[in-house]
Structure 1
Amino acid sequence: MAVAGVSANRLELLQIADAVAREKNIDKEIVVEAIEEAIQKGAKSRYGAHHDIRAKIDIKSGELSLTRHVTIVPDDWQPEDELEEFNDSAMVRLTDASKRDPEAVVGKEYVETLPPFEFGRVQTQMARQVVTGKVREAERANQYEEFKDRVGEIVNGTVKRVEYGNTVVDLGRGEGIMRRNDSIPREVFNIGDRIRTYIYDVRAEAKGPQVMLSRSHPGFMAKLFAQEVPEVYDGVIEIRAAARDAGSRAKMAVLSNDSSIDPVGACVGMRGSR
């Protein structure tokens, strides 16, 4: 992904944001914010990291404004933590500000407009990393929101890769992982195979959301029965418990809420057809 220089055509920035938002299926505002942050970092690299520089892109016109801010602080200003110190490039004490500005008050900001500039090689690389990182974060958040309420569902996907017995499955708007002990013994998948799995957990981890898949989970069998047996799907027959020795045998305890329906006979079907 390329990030244009600050002096780029204003429509270019919006076109980049539109293209990335559509490709990654995230909000355009998130991409614009990422580009703003990238431009700010590039400007700080050029003018000095101690400056309070802010970039703002008009989401309708694409107009970019780059400004440097200096804030008035009290004369007895104290840092909030040990690492913070007085920054004379972004702060001015009230007494000093009053010498030049009779209307100076604590909290007032002086804003200076900075001229456009071209990104150098270092700034371009830095900007690309910022935008890529922000977009990846947004993708992860989207994936977690997409799957967090789908625990207990059966999903179809395509085998993306197989690593040390673990199968990574492409689910369309994300990917899930089926560990070796969640697969059925002696079942082998190749890249590109269509696969049906059961989502038994979705975890929000530092490296991104982990969608945990299984084909050996008892819930997988229960969901398959619900798809195959209309009485279970309609709630007339209730699956109370299930146990599996995956790939070998399985047991289910079923209960009928209608005295006229035999729960075992309905699940087994005519001559075991189900």
Structure 2
Amino acid sequence: MQRNKELHDFLLDKAEQLTEEWYESLDKTGGGVYASNDPEVIRTLKAQNFEFHQHLCKVFVMEKSSFFQEFDEWIMNVASDPEHLNTPTHLIMREFIRVRNQYMVFIDEFIQNQTKLVRQNKIDLWKTVIIEAIDVVMTRVVEEKHNHLNKRIDEQENTINELSSPVIDLSNGKALLPLVGEIDTFRASSILENTLAKCTEKNTNHLYIDLSGVYLVDTMVAQQIFQLINALKLIGVETTMSGIRPEIAHTAVHLGIDFGNISITPTLAKAFSLPN
């Protein structure tokens, strides 16, 4: 235990040197946070690295679960850091491996400075502990980075879906849903969900759905469009459809969808001119 404490103290004293040597040997052409010339980004990067060393050396003096629990805040901060999120994951892993090699060198230096012989099994244990700790931290950082990126992608997809199916306020409880482009099954489902929510939020009583910009739908999508109309009716929203292209009409007829109870006009201008 005394030797563990001595190694901890030795590595803690070397933390600043570890950070400076690591940054000086850094490949700054690889991209991401490691290639930044921004003084503030560099300062933050060094501070993160220095804090890493302050945590890591405690692996020799702390109980394992407590050690990783204490490390978790650092892991979450780095994994959610915008600069690291924009850095290729393989470069982040490369730097963890380089730091791991640094520790192997410093452990050897510590051993050489000892007046008493250190047994090989003890040396092997120290190195194994460091390797395993860094591997766990590296894996957690990569995992949390992946989670944050997926969350960002989901948020972007939600924004895109909302923008691709905008419910535009008109007047007197009327609104317009202009649909443009190809509608696949996923987008159709998003349109249904978003439109129902927006109509409820805006207290819409009449929705104009314009399909003149839609060139291609499959049978599943056609079904969902008409499901939207039925769902709107259930929440008290009347609908008028305009701009149905022949291909969509053909698909709807093929599916046996009844147009009888649906207000349909050839153009949006015609829909607006109808009395309500």
The structure that is strand-richer by fraction is 1
The structure that is helix-richer by fraction is 2
Q: TM-score, normalised by structure 1?
A: 0.28
**Bigger Rg, which one:** 2
Q: TM-score, normalised by structure 2?
A: 0.28
